[in-house]
Structure 1
Amino acid sequence: MKDNVSIGNVIKFAGAYIACAIGSGFATGQEVMQFFSGQGIWSIAGTVVTTIIFSWVGAMFMKHGYEHQLGDPGKIISFYFGDRLGKACEIIFQIFIFGIYVIMIAGAGATLAQYFGLDPAIGRIAMAAVAFFTVILGITKLTDILGSLGNVIIIFSVGIGIYSFLSSTTGLAAAADIIPALDITKTQGGWLWSSILYPAYNAIIVIMLSCSIGKSANSAKEAALGGTLGGILFGAGVLALDLGLMANIHDIYSAEVPTLVLADRLSPIFGVIFSIIICCGIYTTTVPMLWSVVRTFAEEGTKKFVLIALVVSAVGLFLGMTNFKTLVNIIYPLSGYMGLILFGFMAWREYQGHRRKAMVQVEMPFAEIK
């Protein structure tokens, strides 16, 4: 097996992996608030758990994508779940992925409405239109675009989180006392469960694109390194935002877009810049979600692909005219439960692969004797 590794590709794959997962929930701070900051000080330990799991998920998806050339959604799901169960799971996965696409559309409306005072419908329509035109470009263009944006978004997110934490006058000590008394919309089950559920739901988001990206790698090692690096950088972003949100929890816990409040405090100009960064984050998840659903029903470059993309975009836009915070609280945890089931099948597939390699190595000496 080749072990060719291009550092440029590793960084690009990591960026695309981050970009796919980052979305409106992360970039707005809403999902970090619900899965981490709202859980209290122990959420810091939770970010470590999330980083470990997310890095493993990225490495496995991209490595398996290369080793088994998993490009089509049907092949990806069948690889993990088998042919019979895979057909049912593919339908379930696409329902969840479509639900997350709807959240992205709603998030675009919430962001522009909060900062610029625009009608939420304007942001939703604009995001649906841009996503549609990007998707019809194909997977190669998607990887290039997302890979570049993902790294930019994570740098800005980490920066604003760290600055907000360091500049806070109250800090984490006050947050420990304040958080239990606040009416924060959060994931149920405590900090540890939330830190496991978070990468589990993200696995549903990234599975299709990650495997497809891994397919184009030069080697399994290059693919796995891209996924691992993406997971580490994403985890760093979660930790930075978690610290920033907790240190300012009293002022931002009720906001639909808490990171925008933090950015505006730094500078009105930076607030404008970060609102654009958030929209880019929403865009980088909206596009892969739409691509995944459409690719299930049609080949890229066909008239059928364009037509289905248009229909799915329109339906998603209609359903996206809903409360953003409520959608995050309902759809994300449900997706996480499906992701936990996926983890079990992923681990089993990886175990089978190691077992087959071990058997081949044992049999080779005997073959040489013959």
Structure 2
Amino acid sequence: MLSGSGPKGALISLKGQVWLLAKVVTAYIGAVIGAGFASGQEIMQFFILHGASGLKGVALATALFAYLGGYVMFLCTSLKSTGYKEILTLLLGSRVGKVIDILNLCMLLAGLSVMLSGSAAVFGEQFGLPARAGVLVVATLTAMVILGGLDGVLTANVFMVPLKFLAVSLISLAALRLGGGPVNLEPVVPAAAGVAGHWAVAGLLYVSYNMVVPVAVLSSLGRMVPRKIGVAGGVLGGLLLGAAVCLVTLAGLRHFPEASTYQIPLLYLAGRLGYGFQQALGLLIWLAILTTAIAQAHGFASRLAGGALKPYRIFGVGACLLALPLSGFSFAALVRLLYPLFGCVGLALLLALLAAPFSKFFRRPEKMLHIIKRFNIINRKI
């Protein structure tokens, strides 16, 4: 076991319960709010370009984030998982689960490279610093957090994730309150409507695209979080994610179509509020890159370590080193090349999560108990 879990069945104080809840909520939010979210570009493509219908997509995404967060934590705490392999096998079967498992590992490593490249872009374009320094700073900080074990990752999230969550929310609220016209609810022409022509498809794709890393992160908490706290944290984290998406969408609609012409729409909104806001947003985007990099390195390491601390540290630091060569490529080029693959794998995982509770298998508690016991036996053998 990595760290942070007390004796089985031990009573947890109210303060301890709140702390565990905060760890689950921030782990979930931190895995989703990456550079694309913090820049506003993801929200623009998936929701803002749909006008009023985009708000329906936001509502759908919020419901899915809340449901899936709670359900994933239910599965993780039931299986006492330390990584996502158990979850994939349970949802997809051993054969398909192995394929998705390998793809997930590759995606986490590739995603870490994208974050390192994104840090280089922010250092060079926003702060006027050497681009390579951006790569090395994020790689070093990520490795240092991983060396602290699971508690190090969760504690880093508890302090950093609320900061970037509040920054996104406050900038969006300020943009809604100051300047701009009324909220524009007219959709753009369907041919230009972001990643999908229909708001429901856009909402579904947005969640599937953003669930791969959260599943990898949340699955590592199965042994350290009681079921009720885990489920509550998953649901609350999903609702807060939906609230942030809604605020950014409303702010973007108020400043539409001007905001849609920018690569970083939130940077345009922050610029309307003043130079200080613009610089703060640059720091926010970099912070989002850092927390996402930590989440991806953690997901990679926890999958391969099997709950042991020393291998976890080795695989986590190794992931940072392996991600360095690919990080030399352009951030935009890596996103165009890799993110469509992320979406395809995420869609398979999303469909499995949505279908699982309605299958005959999950209506038989004794069957699930048998699988849980089998996983425990396998883990002991390993």
Give the TM-score category using the shorter length. Answer: 0.7 to 0.9
Aligned pair partner of 1:259 in 260, 263, 266: 266
CA shift for structure 1 position 183: 7.3
CA RMSD of aligned residues (A): 3.0
The residue type paired with residue 104 of structure 1 is: M
Aligned pair partner of 2:331 in 324, 330, 334: 324
The residue type paired with residue 106 of structure 1 is: S
CA shift for structure 1 position 294: 3.2
> In the superposition, relative to structure 1, how do residues 122 and 261 fare at CA in structure 2: closer, same or farther (>3 Å)?
farther
What are the within-5 Å matches in structure 2 for residues 25-64 of structure 1? 25-64=36-75
Write the distance in 2 (CA, Å) between the matches of 1:123 and 1:314: 15
Write the distance in 2 (CA, Å) between the matches of 1:213 and 1:298: 14
The residue type paired with residue 176 of structure 1 is: E
Query: Which structure 1 residue ranges, 5 or more long, are not aligned?
Result: 361-370
CA shift for structure 1 position 317: 3.0
Write the distance in 1 (CA, Å) between the matches of 2:220 and 2:319: 21
The residue type paired with residue 122 of structure 1 is: A
Write the distance in 2 (CA, Å) between the matches of 1:88 and 1:73: 13
Moved more, 62-71 or 102-111: 102-111
CA shift for structure 1 position 85: 2.4
> In the superposition, relative to structure 1, how do residues 317 and 234 fare at CA in structure 2: closer, same or farther (>3 Å)?
same
What are the within-5 Å matches in structure 2 for residues 272-351 of structure 1? 272-298=279-305, 300-302=308-310, 305-306=312-313, 308-351=315-358
C-alpha contact 2:31 2:213 (8 A) present in aligned 1? yes
Write the distance in 1 (CA, Å) between the matches of 2:293 and 2:95: 29
Length-normalised TM-score, structure 2: 0.82
What are the within-5 Å matches in structure 2 for residues 1-370 of structure 1? 6-173=17-184, 176=186, 179-180=188-189, 186-218=194-226, 220-298=227-305, 300-302=308-310, 305-306=312-313, 308-351=315-358, 355-357=363-365
Write the distance in 2 (CA, Å) between the matches of 1:13 and 1:305: 19
Length-normalised TM-score, structure 1: 0.84
Q: Deviations over 1:83-119 (max 9, x none)?
A: 2322222001222222322322232233333322334
Write the distance in 2 (CA, Å) between the matches of 1:262 and 1:323: 25
The residue type paired with residue 186 of structure 2 is: A
C-alpha contact 2:146 2:317 (8 A) present in aligned 1? no
SS at 1:296 equivalent:
helix
C-alpha contact 1:106 1:320 (8 A) present in aligned 2? yes
Moved more, 138-147 or 245-254: 245-254
SS at 1:128 equivalent:
helix
CA shift for structure 1 position 54: 0.8
Name the structure 2 match of 1:363. none
CA shift for structure 1 position 330: 4.8
SS at 1:171 equivalent:
coil
C-alpha contact 2:81 2:221 (8 A) present in aligned 1? no
CA shift for structure 1 position 152: 2.4
> In the superposition, relative to structure 1, how do residues 164 and 180 fare at CA in structure 2: closer, same or farther (>3 Å)?
farther
CA shift for structure 1 position 214: 4.0
The residue type paired with residue 253 of structure 2 is: M
C-alpha contact 1:55 1:232 (8 A) present in aligned 2? yes
The residue type paired with residue 165 of structure 1 is: L
The residue type paired with residue 335 of structure 1 is: F
C-alpha contact 2:66 2:235 (8 A) present in aligned 1? yes
CA shift for structure 1 position 125: 2.6
C-alpha contact 1:36 1:194 (8 A) present in aligned 2? yes
C-alpha contact 1:47 1:235 (8 A) present in aligned 2? yes
Task: Give the total of aligned pairs.
Answer: 355
Q: Deviations over 1:196-238 (max 9, x none)?
A: 01111111111111122243112x2211110000000001101
> In the superposition, relative to structure 1, how do residues 14 and 208 fare at CA in structure 2: closer, same or farther (>3 Å)?
same
C-alpha contact 1:108 1:282 (8 A) present in aligned 2? yes
Share of identical aligned residues, percent? Answer: 23
C-alpha contact 2:361 2:367 (8 A) present in aligned 1? no
